[in-house]
Structure 1
Amino acid sequence: MSDNHPRETPLPRIAILDIGIESSTFSPHRSDLDDFNQRRGDELLARYPFLAPGSPLREAADWVPLMQASAIPGGAVVPTAYDQMEAEILDLLEARGPFDGVFFHIHGAMSVVGRQDAEGQLATKVRRAAGDQAMISTSMDLHGNVTQELLEAVDLITCYRMAPHEDAVESWERAVQNLVTTLQTGSRPRKAWVRVPVLLPGEKTSTRIEPAKSIYAQVPVTEQRQGVLDAAIWVGYAWADEPRCNATVVVTGEDQAVITAEARRLAELYWDAREDFAFVTPTGTFAECLDQALASDLRPFMISDSGDNPTAGGSGDMTWAVARLLEHPAVTGGEASVLYTAIPDPEGARAAYAAGPGAQLTLTAGARVDHEHQGPVTLEGTVVTATDADPVGGKVAVVGVGGLHVVITERRKPYHLREDFEYAGVNPDEFDIVISKVGYLEPYLYGLAADWRMALTPGGVDQDLLRLGHQHIERPMFPFDPKMPDPDLSPTLLSPRVENDA
């Protein structure tokens, strides 16, 4: 790969830009520059296995990986951090261009403090830097938001079709393949766009269950229609309070009649099912879920502490659930073994790590960022494990108080992969109850759970959306306005910026 590839090459030059975070505007957490993992050059190219050396897509273009900046979900991004990342993106496009195409990889739910539709505005600036002739293909999370500004700036757009997102890499590859194909054929597809006034959490729209399972099964059916290049349904992001937050359908292709009809069909399927969407597992208050877990013989029994889920944008440092566990005699008395993941607290994690396994200590931890519902908790117990091997969490310790084992991390992180627990030095299979700050269970946790409940706990990603107090979403919107009239689901047709050359 050459950064200064001669312009006369028969291969198209394609830039890779990758920036993303899922940002809860209801969380007091703020995402700063050091929250973003940044890659450039070959390190960024290696992120995409379908662009490995010798692969058909790698050989189809001259790939110029410019920049990646991605973070685990959190609060809104501080403007100075965002401005620095945006400036580098635009500078790189100008300095390394011209480009025939841009793979514009975003999440779709990045919020910046004091701004709205940061990704739509970024897309407009990327378009300006790349020029109207460049083909821009965008890949998104299905929990992202799609505005007209974003759609007008890009040529191609798609998103995941599974929740949990087991098809993420497949979706990225589809966006890249569509880009390469259109550059090879010279086609300039149209886009049929429908805003669907429904805003639901991902835990109610999992494709593991109905109705999302059947609705999303129709997406590839649409994609196979003659004259269609791609189809996508976005759930939207429920924990940001912006006008762009809602479900969306986009069908892309060259046959105007077909893409318009299919966009309307998919939108109507989603709207008609709005009252059928339900949580992916039985739910209840935290007390109810804990009582059910204690009474069950199934082990390990999983409980999702959903209101502070860091994979959805929660601060991750709430102590509300741990405070209730410390008050429960069956837990502190050791009648049941309970693993809780996790509380990020830099000072607490370092103190426990310094004390080392076996040390008795009194530790105050958590609620440094989000203390609206509960202040820091005091753990009087034993350091069970302590490690500094976690590349994300930093120093990590497990503190035992009776039957309760609490994971304390130096840096905020989710716990949903096997290696997360391995880094902490604990085996979740050995506990009666495993409580994790998560919503729907990621594949590893889903396979681990003998049974599962989702506790409807408070926090920045509260599953009860009506408790959050949205003020800026477009109304009427379901479920905020349950008796709203049926909306006009007629698609808006967006023509190519540059007419077909083929």
Structure 2
Amino acid sequence: MKILIGSIIQESNTFSPVRSTMDDFYRHHWLMGEAVRGITTENELKGFLEAAGEEGVDTVPVLSANAVSSGMLTADAFREMKEVLRRRLQEAVREAGTVGGVYFALHGAMVAEGTDDTEAELAGIIRQTAGPGVPLVVSLDLHANVTRALVRQVDGLVGFRTYPHTDFYETGKRAARLLFAAVRGEIRPFVTMRKLPLIVPAENSQSTSGPFAELWMEAEKGEARGDSLVTSLFPMQPWLDIEEAGSTVVVVGDARRREDGVREAERLADLFWSLRKAFDVRLLSLEEMIGLVRSCSRAEREGPLVFSDSADSPSAGSTGDSNAVLKALLESGLHRSRSCLLTMVDPAAVDRAVEAGVGQELVLPLGYVSVGSAGSRFGLPLEVKGRVRRIGDGRFTLQGGYAKNTEAFMGRCAVFETGRVSVLLTERPTFSGDPAMYRSMGLEPLDADVVVVKSANQFRADYGKLARSIHILDTPGYSSANLKSLPFRRVNRPFYPLDDPDDWTEHPLYGRTKQRKEEETDGLF
């Protein structure tokens, strides 16, 4: 008896004009079959494989596919992904002979053109191929949009517990323990969920402090009482404009204590709802940023001021090409007196910098160049005079809490200096919240007065140790923390914070009674 394992991971932003294709997976991370065992990244699959080795469980790798966050996946790409998954699963089933169970790591917030709930479709293919009686456990990113359709396909859902995410590996191990116990017949797992009509800013949903930490403390108490085998909390990433959007509490319980598990999910959902306003985040205007930088003495070497331009975060699926912060620095004159680091996706500017060569001065139009971005309501390219300091191939290794040892790729890149501002220009978007990105191009964040990161919260895992202070900016972009500024059209209203309903239990889609009846129909009771 063998366990099939695999992963398909990408996070989507439906507001982004960019579309993702299969090439994004091929270029970033694409492994088939036995090659999966060679993973060095501290991710979910590695954790699962370690747990399997410790318990003497045989595994058959299916595939491991991962792409950088982006706009929606094209319909053609999703069709191809499903075909690849189905073919590889069929091959793995033949190799295994008898399939004892299946584990897959998915993200939970991947959206394709014409398909809001891609993970439910992927789980359906896995279920159909493996067979109806085979235990299936899926792990999800903490920012997943969990749906009833997905829950119907699985025997267990396990989410990350940390934000910034640092427990990829541990999540794989937790999923393994749950699946192995189900395969051995030690537990009879069932999954119950309670979905809420709310989203919260990613910038204030860290698991170490604040309302989300409080929620997790309560979840752990429920696990300790035995009301839940595994509880997962999913504050959905807020840049999905889809009909079945919302944050979710998921409880995996033992069928012998079914009512306890359902009550626990409802208890935590009520608490989550009661804390919704505590997630609101203080945003700093660009004018306030300039004032703060001016007020800080350069003689105080307590680390850099770190500003998050989270509205333009590539890891939230935004374009990464905003020049709003650079424009504010130049117009204020601070580029002459303060050393600043920032990043910008601009392939055309990289081309011109590479063509000019290191040491050359030139004028570059910078920013707002991605598909659908140029000339948008967010701004226009900014003419900047500067010097090319360095050129690179864009390959570097993430060193910190975010998928440690992952090989990252930002395409060809160049450091372009204007005054004391160093702009790291890249051909491709990538996670910019690890200091390794700057360091790979000879830029040391600890030596700067100001460091700008295009990341909502994940950057805190590393920059929290370096920064004098951290501030979230109120800037334009497709992943803004100012959620009311985003053009939501499809979410089911009332929906917090777009609306301010007092209660969730009578919501037309997510009401308590409605969700209970759905579970009764599914045979949960």
Q: Same fold (TM over 0.5)?
A: yes
SS in 1 for 2:84: helix
State the AA in 2 paired with 1:320: A
1:26 equivalent in structure 2 = 15
Deviation at 1:217, TM superposition (A): 1.8
SS in 1 for 2:440: helix
Asked whether 1:96 is paired with 2:92, we answer yes
CA contact (8 A) 1:197 1:478 kept: yes
Match of 1:412 among 421, 429, 433: 429
Match of 1:390 among 388, 395, 398: 395
Residues 1:283 and 1:125: Cα distance change in structure 2 (over 3 Å): same
Q: Kindly indicate which of the two structures has a greater share of residues assigned to helix.
A: 2
| TM-score (ref. length: structure 1) | 0.90
**294-303 or 189-198, which deviates more:** 294-303
The CA distance in 1 between the partners of 2:446 and 2:435, in whole Å, is 11
**For 1:66-465, what aligned pairs fall within 5 Å after superposition?**
66-97=62-93, 99-185=99-185, 187-226=187-226, 228-254=228-254, 255-279=257-281, 282-297=282-297, 299-331=303-335, 334-340=336-342, 342-369=343-370, 370-371=373-374, 372=376, 373-388=378-393, 390-391=395-396, 392-440=409-457, 441-465=459-483
CA contact (8 A) 2:345 2:429 kept: yes
1:42 equivalent in structure 2 = 34
Residues 1:134 and 1:405: Cα distance change in structure 2 (over 3 Å): same
Deviation at 1:290, TM superposition (A): 2.6
Deviation at 1:87, TM superposition (A): 0.7
CA contact (8 A) 1:191 1:494 kept: no
Deviation at 1:225, TM superposition (A): 2.8
The CA distance in 1 between the partners of 2:113 and 2:394, in whole Å, is 33
Residues 1:227 and 1:287: Cα distance change in structure 2 (over 3 Å): closer
State the AA in 2 paired with 1:272: S
**424-433 or 197-206, which deviates more:** 197-206
SS in 1 for 2:499: coil
Percent identity over the alignment is 28
SS in 1 for 2:243: coil
Structure 2, gaps ≥5 residues long: 40-44, 397-408, 506-510
CA contact (8 A) 2:200 2:280 kept: no
The CA distance in 1 between the partners of 2:148 and 2:52, in whole Å, is 33
For residues 392-425 of structure 1, the C-alpha deviation after alignment (integer angstroms, 9 at most, x for no partner) is 0132211111121111012212222232122121
**For 1:481-496, what aligned pairs fall within 5 Å after superposition?**
481-487=499-505, 488-489=511-512, 492=516, 494=519
The CA distance in 2 between the partners of 1:497 and 1:262, in whole Å, is 19
Residues 1:478 and 1:51: Cα distance change in structure 2 (over 3 Å): closer
The CA distance in 2 between the partners of 1:496 and 1:482, in whole Å, is 31
Deviation at 1:16, TM superposition (A): 1.4
Deviation at 1:52, TM superposition (A): 5.4
1:8 equivalent in structure 2 = none
Deviation at 1:486, TM superposition (A): 4.2
Deviation at 1:301, TM superposition (A): 0.6
CA contact (8 A) 2:120 2:150 kept: yes
Residues 1:469 and 1:346: Cα distance change in structure 2 (over 3 Å): closer
For residues 192-230 of structure 1, the C-alpha deviation after alignment (integer angstroms, 9 at most, x for no partner) is 211122211211322232211111122222223336321
SS in 1 for 2:161: coil
Asked whether 1:474 is paired with 2:492, we answer yes
CA contact (8 A) 2:320 2:345 kept: yes
The CA distance in 1 between the partners of 2:470 and 2:322, in whole Å, is 21
For residues 293-322 of structure 1, the C-alpha deviation after alignment (integer angstroms, 9 at most, x for no partner) is 221235411111111111111111222332
Tell me the matched-pair count: 482
| TM-score (ref. length: structure 2) | 0.87
